A and B are shown apart, each in its own frame.
Chain A
């Protein structure tokens, strides 16, 4: 159908939505801070000279807990949505999802090795714990994706259909390996593994945030430059080639950006599903499939969506916390079914 929302209106709307999401994410939480305190603490954080009396708690909550969490949510939501667009372009199918190239299952396998392996081999020093887990998840995601990509290559060309099948096979293999680790795990490790699989923005800290921020920024700045090429890729690989595009290079870039971006996101926040599938769809429904609009709009929409989901995760069962993967699945799955039934997918 014709475009419902013009690009300019869409971007203004999404930017406003994003700003609202950021503000709510900073202002709301289990600790109820007076709005005035939040404002002043926020201003102090950006360097405005305001007297600090009475603001210690607000500054701590805002600066140490909510702000890194908000940044994490922005980065993860944005990069997952962007990877969703990239994969839907690569497979030329609006039902594609970053997990198809195996990055999510690879990351899960890496995490399982770190979590269960750590306890089997007597555990690592506490301070290393979170870094080792993230690193293993990241390497696992990259490793499996590299393998899927390699399997899809024949005679110097990447066969997307083969990659898809390889992704399915390796995802199943990784899944059974995770199952094996689950069997070897004791009760406590098992729960840690389960919670990791459900995803969470909890415990975000600046030191663990910066690799993800760098990678997300890199991917978010790079992919929109390939928007026209991605449009042409949707015509078909040979047609895109005849229009002068280096299709092999483009496919390589798409897989690489997805592996890096999703790998870093999963390493930082665990498995958060449906964002890569649902967000590009929503944006396409509103503004059409042109990647010049779709790519930047998906970043904004994905970031906003994840922050709203995190609000629910933090407040629904306060002072306890829902894993955010549950919230995104709750929103994403019914939406996906709706799409299927309506025949738009």
Chain B
């Protein structure tokens, strides 16, 4: 079973790009990239070369899943033979993780092919996607995928264009310290000044070489706070430049403003703790 092959740890099976590359349909979007790290220091892709398709195995599975490739015509045995030859070769021998990734993908391909050749359960439908409301084959995963794709479009397309549709209120600044900042602002500022002083001797980076986004830092901080309470100093443990420190500090202030974090110093000169809310 592929489940067993996959194991609990994530495999180097390729992932899609996360950020939106634009408005082009997903079919035209950057295909999932299969990077089988065949040699430790020389990442290389295992390319499938069979009649009707040449490219990565991940791309083949993706296309087969979407019905873009007639999976019934894909010789799975030829693919496994190609990979086996690679495994048995002395050069560029794939690692165990790569083999596991291959098995997962090829198992999925076999399942897709099996589903497609079953006369009572056609996987692909002949409807052009552009037609929109094509006949939906209940029971096929392709149909299910299309349902969710349509649901995503209906639910989130406007949001993607226009941003959030409902908002929490804004808390006036004089309320924030009481509710979320249980430390005098000047003491927090002093703590941050000490962080900047620690970074003062760093080599300056060329202008424009690296930029930091407060939004990204806020996302990182959210994720870290989900793991538990942090000391103020820990926020800057991996920070190497003043610019990055400023981005981190602004991210903290942003989370305070949004009510997603609290800062507290129980006793004067004691540790300053930052914790997530909710």
Bind each other: no
